[in-house]
């Protein structure tokens, strides 16, 4: 019985961690209007967007007696 519970907990934890990826995108813009037959039919305007993100130690406390975020390092990217 205990082995089944541990196996189920490990499988559930693995599925949770498998879906906890990061979204990554490049801020560059690339586009081309090729073989456009009209004056206004092939205009391409793309603006690269870069938004700085603060990466800090995000934590969740079940019981907030002690602050687990104490001493964390923050990085601006």
| Across 55-72, average pLDDT | 64
| Residue found by looking up tokens 């406390």 in the block | 61
| Across 61-66, average pLDDT | 61
**Max CA distance (Å), the chain:** 74
Helix residue ranges per DSSP H, the chain: 2-18
Q: pTM here?
A: 0.28
In 3D space, the residue among 42, 47, 44, 68 whose CA is nearest the CA of residue 56 turns out to be: 68
Q: pLDDT tens digit string along 9-51?
A: 888 888 777 766 666 666 676 777 777 776 667 677 777 777 7
Domain boundaries, the chain: 48-76
């Amino acid at each position: 019985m205990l082995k089944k519970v541990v196996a189920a907990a490990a499988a559930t934890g693995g599925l949770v961690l498998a879906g906890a990826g990061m979204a990554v995108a490049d801020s560059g813009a690339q586009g081309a209007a090729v073989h456009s037959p009209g004056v206004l039919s092939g205009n391409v305007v793309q603006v690269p967007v870069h938004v700085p993100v603060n990466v800090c130690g995000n934590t969740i406390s079940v019981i907030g007696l002690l602050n687990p975020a104490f001493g964390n390092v923050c990085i601006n990217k």
